[in-house]
């Protein structure tokens, strides 16, 4: 949305950097923990763009500004920072999660339909970077610089969209080494999936488990999962990784079946994954390879803000449901993963985020939130899984609230497949109601 301003950009009429800095400074005078997002988009130069005349540049910049403005919420603000650089300011967000959606949505607005001049497609590549406060500071200039750094890395790596991370300002040697070793680990099948049980609260039985990514480097150091995913995306390996993930989840299901263990496995996907139209086919191939029913697999969807906004994501979700694959909303209660749009999504399960579960036994507020989630889910025909269950008191609260399943260290940490099998056998011998 545009706002009243002086000294606008002459080509687009948009406010410029000075106004963006002033607006950010005003926002930061509000509550200290209030979240504000910045998304910076750049058209990377190519011969067609560089050959444009001034007369051709102006209508193209106006068209780009129009598309970006149409993709923003009424409370958002759009600025022109240079000839081919725009900044979107997203004030007062419920969490940093919508920033990732905004990048996807704004970049897509410039790619579909393709930008053209004089009836000729420009083939322009868009770099998109983002930053947010307060996690990445309150200084307006620093935040815009952070978004620019993320856009720089996005353009260099051809990732399309990247959130700023301090590692982007460290030496590239470490990141390049990590990406190379990760590519080798993926090719040599050295990534692992650990299984964390999800226990049925009423019966104490376990017929579900979440598959969690693990990687131990050659120096025996374990890499945190968010770092693995970030390195995969920097290296352009996300599609290859998903193929590996689907095949190995299916393999684990087949091995559990051979061991006489009836367990469904859930795996995690992001909004970026759901934008891949080949995803249902990749999953179908993995299930067919191991002759598994699709009902054995559950997909946990993160960044669900993108689900509500993207027709492409919804189309993929409906194709997955047509295959009888169960869909679950992960980290429910955070960001945009709210109650208002559940009825529009083809999901069968909700996972309540652990920030609500950890203090459940001592907090009436969290109990009421969880009760509302459980009641709504049940009215919509969905099951509820609580993650982060660490004490018997929390488990008892969940039992009284009618939650179906629980996951957490009260039962077991994530385990390699053989240890998970041993855990299942030990639990069966001890009795299903053992915690």
Q: Are 89 and 76 in contact (CB under 8 A)?
A: yes
| pLDDT in the model for residue 4 | 46
Strand pairing of 77-82 and 85-93? antiparallel
Q: Are 298 and 305 in contact (CB under 8 A)?
A: no
| pLDDT in the model for residue 335 | 52
| pLDDT in the model for residue 179 | 81
Residue 62, token pair as written in the block: 């106006």
10-residue mean pLDDT profile of the chain (435 residues): values are: 64 91 87 92 90 91 96 95 95 89 92 89 91 87 91 85 83 73 92 97 95 93 87 75 94 96 93 76 94 96 58 81 93 60 82 91 92 92 95 97 97 97 89 59
| pLDDT in the model for residue 229 | 84
**All domains in the chain, ordered by first residue:** 17-169 (3.30.70.270), 184-429 (3.20.20.450)
| pLDDT in the model for residue 431 | 66
Partnered with residue 297 across adjacent β-strands are 265
Q: Please, is 324 exposed, middle or buried when counting C-beta atoms within 10 Å of its C-beta (0-12, 13-18, 19+)?
A: exposed
Q: Are 20 and 87 in contact (CB under 8 A)?
A: yes
What are the E-state strand segments in 169-263? 191-200, 206-216, 222-223
Task: For residue 327, give the nearest of 269, 371, 278, 372 by alpha carbon.
Answer: 269
Dihedral sign (CA 342, 343, 344, 346)? positive
Q: What is this structure's pTM? A: 0.64
Q: Please, is 369 exposed, middle or buried when counting C-beta atoms within 10 Å of its C-beta (0-12, 13-18, 19+)?
A: middle
Please state, in angstroms and rounded to a whole number, the distance separating the CA atoms of residues 129 and 266.
31
Dihedral sign (CA 185, 186, 188, 192)? positive
Cis preceding linkage at 398, omega within 30? no
């Amino acid at each position: 949305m545009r706002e009243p301003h002086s000294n606008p950009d002459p080509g687009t009429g948009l406010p410029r950097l000075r106004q963006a800095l002033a607006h950010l400074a005003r926002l930061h005078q509000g509550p200290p923990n209030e979240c504000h997002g910045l998304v910076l988009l750049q058209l990377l130069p190519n011969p067609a763009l560089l050959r444009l005349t001034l007369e051709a540049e102006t209508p193209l910049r106006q068209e780009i500004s129009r598309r970006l403005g149409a993709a923003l919420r009424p409370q958002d603000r759009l600025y022109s920072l240079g000839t081919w650089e725009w900044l979107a300011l997203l004030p007062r967000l419920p969490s940093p999660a919508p920033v990732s959606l905004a990048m996807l949505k704004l970049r897509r607005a410039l790619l579909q339909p393709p930008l053209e001049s004089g009836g000729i497609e420009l083939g322009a590549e868009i770099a998109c970077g983002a930053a947010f406060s307060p996690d990445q500071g309150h200084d307006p200039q620093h935040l815009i610089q952070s978004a620019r750094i993320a856009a720089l890395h996005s353009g260099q790596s051809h990732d399309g969209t990247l959130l700023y991370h301090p590692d982007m300002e460290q030496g590239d040697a470490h990141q390049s080494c990590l990406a190379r070793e990760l590519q080798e680990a993926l090719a040599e099948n050295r990534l692992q999936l650990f299984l964390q049980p999800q226990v049925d609260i009423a019966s104490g039985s376990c017929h579900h488990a979440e598959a969690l990514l693990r990687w131990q480097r050659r120096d025996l150091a374990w890499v945190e999962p968010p770092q693995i995913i970030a390195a995969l995306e920097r290296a352009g390996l996300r599609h290859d990784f998903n193929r590996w993930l689907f095949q190995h989840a299916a393999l684990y299901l087949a091995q559990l079946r051979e061991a006489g263990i009836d367990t469904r496995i859930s795996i995690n996907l992001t909004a970026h994954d759901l934008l891949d139209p080949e995803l249902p086919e990749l999953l179908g191939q993995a299930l067919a390879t191991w002759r598994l029913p699709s009902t054995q697999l559950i997909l946990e969807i993160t960044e669900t803000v993108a689900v509500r906004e993207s027709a492409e994501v919804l189309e993929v979700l409906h194709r997955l449901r047509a295959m009888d694959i169960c869909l679950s909303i992960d980290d429910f209660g955070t960001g945009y993963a709210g109650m208002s749009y559940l009825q529009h999504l083809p999901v069968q399960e909700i996972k309540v985020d652990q920030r609500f579960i950890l203090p459940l036994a001592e907090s009436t507020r969290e109990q009421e939130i969880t009760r509302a989630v459980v009641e709504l889910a049940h009215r919509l025909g969905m099951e509820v899984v609580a993650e982060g269950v660490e004490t018997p008191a929390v488990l008892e609260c969940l039992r009284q609230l009618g939650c179906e399943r629980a996951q957490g260290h009260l039962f077991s940490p994530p385990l390699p497949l053989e240890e998970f099998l041993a855990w299942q056998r030990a639990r069966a011998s001890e009795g299903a109601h053992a915690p």
